[in-house]
């Protein structure tokens, strides 16, 4: 468990007065602990794939430890930012983290093989990123067509059509990688 190195002024005063470091108490801060667990080390060069972004503790530590910490800190109740696969894994909807990683890699391979799609390696805490369709980024559109990953349905993929600035465009669920491949020509024409 990561513990905060900050301590109360009362404890600090005790150390100053007594010179006794054993009186210092470290206080665990769950959100800081989770923040450190989800933080990825930036890869050398540009992150060009989901695999290159999977460097955080949640991606590399033993799967059971990751699940235990997630559950202990209240992640299942939605209080912590977490990747789509961790929510799905907690609910038993994905068999393993490795299976979720293969899914991410399959989506990446499908999209990056088509002209105009780029991987954007930054997103919310713990997430690997998302994909944008560059040709859809044309006036009056301010946000290009985007493919994101989600735990909100078993297809794990949401498509956000290109939109004008400030518009609320609903996400379109895709039922999986195979089905995404079949509808990509239509998505690219939006």
Residues 104, 113: contact at Cβ < 8 Å? no
Tokens of 106: 């399959």
Condensed to tens digits (0 to 9), the pLDDT of residues 27-61 reads: 556 566 777 777 776 656 666 899 988 888 899 99
User: Residue 25 is encoded by which pair of tokens?
Assistant: 């108490």
- Stated as kind and residue range, the H or E segment containing 132 is strand 130-133
Do the strands 145-149 and 157-160 form a parallel or antiparallel pair, or are they unpaired? antiparallel
Neighbours of 186 (CB within 10 A): 8
Q: How confident is the model at residue 5 (pLDDT cuts 50, 70, 90)?
A: very low
Structure tokens at 136: 């859809």
pTM of the model: 0.78
């Amino acid at each position: 468990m990561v513990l905060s190195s900050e301590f109360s002024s009362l404890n600090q005063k005790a150390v100053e007065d007594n010179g006794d470091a054993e009186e210092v108490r470290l206080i665990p801060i769950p959100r800081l602990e989770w923040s450190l667990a989800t933080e990825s080390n930036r890869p050398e060069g540009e992150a060009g794939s989901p695999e290159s972004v999977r460097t955080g503790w949640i991606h590399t530590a033993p799967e059971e430890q990751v699940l235990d910490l997630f559950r202990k800190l209240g992640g299942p109740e939605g209080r912590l930012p977490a990747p789509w696969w961790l929510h799905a894994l907690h609910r038993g909807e994905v068999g393993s983290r490795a299976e979720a990683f293969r899914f991410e890699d399959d989506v990446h391979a499908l999209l990056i093989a088509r002209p105009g799609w780029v991987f954007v390696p930054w997103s919310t805490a713990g997430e690997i990123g998302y994909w944008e369709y560059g040709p859809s980024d044309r006036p009056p559109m301010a946000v290009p067509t985007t493919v994101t990953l989600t735990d909100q349905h078993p297809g794990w993929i949401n498509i956000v059509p290109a939109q004008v600035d400030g518009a609320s465009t609903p996400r379109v669920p895709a039922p999986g990688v195979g089905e995404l491949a079949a509808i990509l020509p239509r998505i690219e024409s939006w």
